[in-house]
Amino acid sequence: MIAFKNRSRNCKAEPREQRRPGVSIGFEILVFLFVIFVGSGWQHSVLLAQSEVPQRDPLLETLLQAERTTIGSEDLQAAWQAVSKWPASRLPEVLAAADEANPVALNWLRSAIDGMLEQPECELPIMELKMIVQDPQRKYASRRIAWELLDSADPNLMESIAETLIADPIAVFRRPAIEKRVAYAATLEKNSEERRRVLRDAFKVARDEDQVGDIARLLDVEYGEKPDLAKHFGFIVNWHVVGPFPNIDEAGFHESFPPEQIKLSDFNSDGKLSESLEYAGNSGKVQWKEQAAVNDTGELDLNQVLGKEKEVVGYGVTVFECSTERPAEVRLRMQNAFKLWLNGELIQSQAIGHTGNSFDQYVIPVTLKQGKNILLIKSSQNKPPQEIEWYDTWHFNVRICDSSGTAIQEIK
């Protein structure tokens, strides 16, 4: 019997391949379908097979309806108590429900799972849980719970599973596998080609800022390679910037200045903005200026382009060409209040500034259209409540990627 780490559990981890219950059951089903096919025809057998697909247990349906306003419900309490007494063999059912649960319902389901693990002679369905963890089509909730159960029961098993998740779309599953690859590289002969290959492979699948940076530094120091971080992350590095415009008492954040009317037809075939675009700025006429972001970080410093001013707003615009219409994410690092438009549609607005300054601080799901997409950002530099050096910061970076953090490469 294997007890869960830091918990009192009755469950034991016993692989279920030896019993192979699915073989006899599957054979009986095949025989049954064959008889139906012979007697009633293929179409009837298909309809019958579909009608026999098991439905979700009503107790789980009740738990999925849980909300803050239903916590005291007798039906909810009864369903939770009943599911808590289920055998661990039914964990896959509960985990499937967890993928559709709201946060309140998920708490009830996790609590019910705790009860299931306390049942006498509890035996974890190891193979089923392993399949859930390794299935990238499953949602985060079920995979995470399955991971925790397996890790508590048998850490050595999770060590082997981690190796298979090195390209997983979910970062928390991918990260340990990359850590193991980097650790393995450290055991290889320094400056060897094998070590270089392992580091390169780890870099390709890494998505977290710290892991990517660490591997890039190793490749640089040991082999003189300088990976293209802008391309790897999908940073937008080519911008046109204009401003500043007045933002007294933060009124400029809400006012629509002429740059907000920018459109694709204002760009020429080389991606340049017409010099005829001129606006009344904070201290006279202003025009769009080309400005490249820092390649390694994608950072664009508006202080360098528009001056170190306060109570102003500025704009940045870029065109991103996509090979096909597709879902994507615009991920933004921005310390200041901002508005962001994609193809003329406002996709994010944050009126409060200086609330953070982290990598992928804002993750905004969008749909890129095939061809050219125009991305416009408005950034506010407000008046500080007092003289604070860090309040002078006025920069941002933007990257375009898929839901796993993998860069979507622009057509060149």
pLDDT tens digit sequence for 262-316: 999 999 888 889 878 999 999 899 999 999 999 899 999 999 999 988 999 999 9
Answer yes or no: is pLDDT of 53 > 60.
Answer: no
Same domain, 331 and 397: yes
| Res 27: pLDDT | 42
117 pLDDT band (50/70/90 cuts)?
A: very high
Of 168, 181, 185, the C-alpha closest to 133 is: 168
> Is 3 inside any structural domain?
no
Q: What percent of the chain has pLDDT over 90?
A: 70
Q: With 90 as the cut, is the pLDDT of residue 211 above it?
A: yes
> Sign (positive/negative) of CA torsion 360, 203, 230, 367?
negative
Residue 88 in tokens: 């661990």
Number of compact structural domains in the chain: 3
Residue 253 has a pLDDT of 96
Q: Can you give the pLDDT at residue 274?
A: 83
Range from 3-17, 38-52, 145-159, 182-196 that averages highest in pLDDT? 182-196
**Cα pseudo-dihedral 282, 284, 285, 289, rounded to 10:** -60
94 plus 178 within the same structural domain: no
- Would you state the structure tokens that stand for residue 90, as one six-digit string? 């039914």
Q: Is residue 7 part of a domain?
A: no
- Give the residue numbers spanning the domain of 207: 171-227
Please determine, for residue 16, whether its predicted confidence score (pLDDT) is greater than 60. no
Same domain, 114 and 196: no
Last residue of one domain, picked from the residues 181, 207, 227? 227
Residues 24 and 99 in one domain: yes
**Claim to verify: residue 301 and residue 213 sit in the same structural domain:** no
Asked which of 57-66, 389-398, 402-411 is least confident by mean pLDDT, the reply is 389-398
Cα–Cα–Cα angle for 254, 258, 262, rounded to 5 degrees: 110
Q: Dump pLDDT digits (tens) for 332-369.
A: 999 999 999 999 999 999 998 877 889 999 999 999 99
Predicted local confidence at residue 50, as pLDDT: 39
Q: What is the CATH number of the domain that holds 326?
A: 2.60.120.380
Domain stop point among 140, 163, 186: 163
* CA separation for the pair 201, 181 (Å, rounded): 9
Q: Is position 411 within any domain?
A: no
